[in-house]
Amino acid sequence: MPKVLFATSEAHPLIKTGGLADVSGALPIALRALGCDVKIILPAYPEVLSKLSQTKTISQLYIPGIAGTIKLLEGKLPDSNIKALVVDYAAAFKRDGGPYQDPEGKPWQDNAERFALFSKAVCKVALKQANINWQPEIVHCNDWQTGLVPAILRLSQPAQIEGPYIPSVFTIHNLAYQGLYPQEIFFALGLPTELWSHSALEFHNQMSFIKGGLVFADRITTVSPQYALEIQNKKFGYGLEGLLSHRRSQLTGILNGIDDKVWNPIIDPLIKNNYDLDNMQNKSLNKHYLQKYYGLEQTNDLLLGFIGRLVEQKGIDLIIKLIPRLKQLSAQLVILGSGESTFETQLKQLAKKHSDVFRVQIGYDEALAHKIEAGVDAFLMPSKFEPCGLNQMYSLRYGSIPIVTNVGGLSDSVVNVSDKTLKSNTATGFLLDEPNATELIKTINRVTALYKKPKQWASLVKTGMSQQFNWQTSAKQYLKLYQSLISKTTSF
């Protein structure tokens, strides 16, 4: 079984800002269960160091142009046998704030330098230049923060080889974030000058971190089959659709899974009342608890929920237009999330104006997120684009009907309600054809109409809860991909 170095800028439960952390925390565990020798490598943020167990220094790295010593530490992920390597360089990673932003929510001004250093450290480990007794057979990189790794690896190894060659896989979690920096940053990073070209990292006279992965990785993956198709077109390609279309034979969409031990209403310790298909009355108790928590009347009206970033991508602007119509629709809505200050302010104002049907909590609370999934009747996710999405899978697992846009992983994981799909017991949720407020309100009307038919609604819930989106299925596809790369000499 292959040795895999899984390079990421975040991993749950060590540190999390979004879905990348969920993937990075769960996929390596699923791969290990299949027999892979997997190590995660990520930066040594203070939060990571505080949560790792059995941490020790195993090596020191020396990178040209970087003052001082970079330590390579090893520890274990909590409640798993997965070993994590962490790149410890205080000047880059020991600071208050998040992985990418300062305490005021602004991007760190030296992000390019920080993640270039991290990428160079990953390559040191991959190329057995870190003085540790382990070398991967595959380096799996994720998003722009690790985009330089495939580029550096490719230039460090001959294209045609007879001996060991370390191929790379690059996963696009969200193409909207590309790691774009001015030209002078490129030359300040001490990268090989041949990487400054349109066929490498240059993108409209800027440096693009993500192009390192898209151009130089031996295989590219995205987090759903539909998203792999969408990013080859102008609407979702962000100017990179031509490159991705050119590399389509090396591009694969693999739908993310979910951790079905963490997200399981039967055993979830974070919800008030556990339940399954044979004990759905407890879901009603969770609904009443959630209504009480948010200060809403404990009615049987349709209770909607939203958890996520308060940004246009997630369709929060559409939800804002829905809120004044909630009472007319006989619906309530609870929101948990944070994001753009404009949206946060609007939601707070709407919560005061429509307090009888709408409440919002700004921020993120993992325990409350579980309670929302367990308590709502339906979950709103009207994203403008969605590479994969996980909440719609959580919602299906918890018997909370997803209301989603027909894009990306939402399209791949939710079967739209229609007369035909209801009759065949294949429907699992509601799909919006277009991400606009009119379509959302029209769809909510469809939802409430079905909600008033208890038998049909119960059947829809049952079908949704019967779906399987575990990581074992996804991990088997990644393993097959790894093995195909290892078994042959790779050339570009």
- pLDDT of res. 158: 66
Query: Which CATH number does 3-257+472-486 carry?
Result: 3.40.50.2000
Q: What is the pTM of this model?
A: 0.90
Token reading at 89: 């360089």
If 0-12 CB within 10 Å is exposed, 13-18 middle and 19+ buried, where does residue 211 land?
buried
Q: What is the reported pLDDT for 426?
A: 97
- The rounded distance, in Å, linking the Cα atoms of 69 and 89 is 7
Q: Residue 259's pLDDT is what?
A: 85
- Check for a shared fold between 3-257+472-486 and 281-467: yes
- The domain spans of the chain are 3-257+472-486, 281-467
Cα distances from 352 to residues 70, 348, 372, 472, in angstroms, run 51, 7, 20, 45
CA distances from 459 to 83, 240, 328, 361 (A): 43, 43, 26, 32
Residue pair 49/42 in contact (Cβ under 8 Å)? The answer is no
Cβ-proximal residues to 233 (8 Å cutoff; 6+ apart), any chain: 241
Closest Cα to residue 14, out of 4, 27, 6, 24? 24
Closest by CA position to 153, among listed 2, 7, 3: 7
pLDDT in tens for each of the 492 residues of the chain? 899 999 999 999 999 988 899 899 999 999 999 999 999 999 999 999 999 999 999 999 999 989 888 999 999 998 888 999 999 999 999 999 999 999 988 899 999 999 999 999 999 999 999 999 999 999 999 999 999 999 999 999 865 444 579 999 999 999 999 999 999 999 999 999 999 999 999 999 999 999 999 999 999 999 999 999 999 999 999 999 999 999 999 999 999 999 888 899 999 999 999 999 999 999 999 999 999 999 999 999 999 999 998 999 999 999 999 999 999 999 999 999 998 999 999 999 999 999 999 999 999 898 999 999 999 999 999 999 999 999 999 999 999 999 999 999 999 999 999 999 999 999 999 999 999 999 999 999 999 999 999 999 999 999 999 999 989 999 999 999 999 999 764 444
Rg from Cα positions in the chain: 23
pLDDT in the model for residue 1: 87
The amino acid occupying position 449 is: A
Q: Give the pLDDT confidence score for residue 161 in this predicted structure.
A: 47
Question: Mutual orientation of helices 454-465 and 437-451 as an angle, nearest 10°?
Answer: 110
Distance CA 166, CA 393 (A): 34
Are 144 and 177 contacting, i.e. CB atoms less than 8 angstroms apart?
Answer: yes
Give 281-467's CATH code, choosing from 3.40.50.2000, 3.40.50.150, 3.30.450.20, 3.40.50.970. Answer: 3.40.50.2000
171/142 Cα distance (integer angstroms) = 5
Tokens of 264: 């399981």
Euclidean distance between CA atoms 201 and 209, whole angstroms: 7
Selection from 378, 299, 366 nearest residue 334 by Cα: 378
Taking alpha carbons only, the member of 370, 328, 365, 21 closest to residue 173 is 21
Contacts (Cβ under 8 Å, ≥6 apart) of 368: 293, 336, 361
> Which position has the token pair 């055993």?
267
Q: Is 235 exposed, middle or buried (0-12, 13-18, 19+ CB in 10 A)?
A: exposed
State the pLDDT at residue 130.
Answer: 93
Neighbouring C-beta atoms of residue 79, cutoff 10 Å: 10
